[in-house]
Amino acid sequence: MTIHDHPGKERIGAVRAFNRFYTRQIGLLDEGLLKSAFSLTEARVLYELAHRDGLTATDLVRDLALDPGYLSRLLKKFEERGLVERAATEADARRSSIALTPAGRQAFAPLNRDSHDQVAALLDRLPASDQDRLVKAMQTVQRLLGGDGAEPKIPYMLRPMQVGDIGWIVRRQGMIYTQDYGWDETYEALVAEILAAFVKSFDPKWERSWIAEREGEVVGSVFVVRKSDEVAKLRLLYVEPSARGLGIGKRLVDECVSFARARGYKTLTLWTNDILVSARRIYEAVGFKLAEEERHHSFGKDLVGQNWNLEL
C-alpha cells in the first residue's frame, strides 16, 4: 500500500498539517528553543529536573521516550557545563539521581519565563471565549492521544449555574434520554420548561443549582426547587456517560440533601421513572423511600412514574 492509497490519508494529512503549523507557531524550527542555547529536548530535560525531585536517567528515558545513549550524552554535556549533578539514591546506591545545580536553575529560569510569555502572547491574540475553546481542544488532543496516562488530580468540580448552562443541559438531557431509552422530543421540551421556570422564579435563599464540570466541560447537574416552606424538590439529576463511575451522581444528590437540611426543609421529594435504575440506586442509598408509583404514557413510551421522599 502506498501513502496515497491509505484509507485514512485525509486524516493523516490533517494531523501532519497541524504539526507543521504548530511547530512554526511556537518556534520549534529555530536552532535554539526560544532563542536560547538549548534544543527542544535539552529544554524538556531541564524542565523535568526543575519540577521533579529524585529523577534518575531511567526515569527520564521512560517518561520522555528518549534513547538511552542520546540522554547519556546530553547529561554528560550538562555535567561538563555545571548544570546538573548526580548523587546516589537512598533506595539503591548503584543508581544515581540527577538534580539541577544552582547554575542549572539559573540557566533554566529565563527559558521557563520566556516559554510562559510566549504562550501568554499567543493566547492574548484571542478573545477569552476562543482561548477557552483552544485550551479545551488541546486537552482533548492530550486525552485522546494518551497524555500522561493518569486521570486529573481533581476529576471534576461543582459550581453554580452560569449563562449557557441551560441550553447545554436541555440539549444533553434530550439527547441522552433519547439514546438510552428512546424518549422523544417532549422530554427535552419538559426539561426546557423546568429550567426556564427555575431561572425566572429563582430564590437563592431556598433554591440551588449544582453543575459538575470536568476538564472545562459540563458533565452533570442537579437542582433543588422550593415547593413549600417545608418541602423541596430535587430535579433533573443527570451525569454524562463519559463521566459515570466517578461518583458524580452520588455527590450531586448529597449536595441537595445537605442544602435542604441546612435551609430547614422537612422533606426532599423527587419524581423519576422505574427504568432509571442507576439514579434510583443513588436515591435509595441516601435514604429516599418510594412513596407512590403509577403507570403513564409520556415521552413516547409507556412508563412507570415514581415519587420518592426523604424525611429530613
Per-residue model confidence (pLDDT) at position 33: 64
pLDDT tens readout for residues 272-289: 999 999 999 999 999 999
Per-residue model confidence (pLDDT) at position 148: 53
Per-residue model confidence (pLDDT) at position 149: 47
Give phi and psi for 258, each to the nearest 5. Answer: -60, -45
Half-sphere exposure of 118 (CA within 13 A, CB side): 14
| Closest of 86, 5, 6, 74 to residue 42, by C-alpha | 74
Q: What is the DSSP string of 227-271?
A: -SSSEEEEEEEEE-GGGTTSSHHHHHHHHHHHHHHHTT-SEEEEE
- Residue 46 burial by Cβ neighbours in a 10 Å radius (0-12, 13-18, 19+): buried
Per-residue model confidence (pLDDT) at position 214: 84
pLDDT digits (tens), the chain, 312 positions:
565 666 677 888 888 888 888 777 776 666 556 677 888 888 889 988 888 878 889 989 988 888 999 999 999 999 999 999 988 766 555 678 899 999 998 988 888 888 888 888 888 888 877 887 887 788 778 777 875 545 555 578 888 898 889 999 999 999 999 999 999 999 999 999 999 999 999 999 999 999 998 877 899 999 999 999 999 999 999 999 888 888 899 999 999 999 999 999 999 999 999 999 999 999 999 999 999 999 999 999 999 999 999 999
Q: Residue 119: in which H helix or E strand, if any?
A: helix 102-124
Q: What 8-state DSSP symbol labels residue 35? A: G
Strand order through the sheet with 157-159 = 157-159, 208-214, 217-226, 231-239, 267-273, 301-311, 289-298
- Which structural domains are found in the chain, ordered by start? 3-144 (1.10.10.10), 157-311 (3.40.630.30)
| Closest of 190, 191, 310 to residue 254, by C-alpha | 310
Contact 290, 274 (CB under 8 A): no
- The span from the CA of 1 to the CA of 6, in Å, is 7
| Closest of 146, 120, 145 to residue 135, by C-alpha | 120
> pTM, whole model, 2 decimals?
0.57
- The span from the CA of 175 to the CA of 185, in Å, is 9
- Output helix, strand, coil percentages for the chain, rounded to the nearest 5: 50, 20, 30
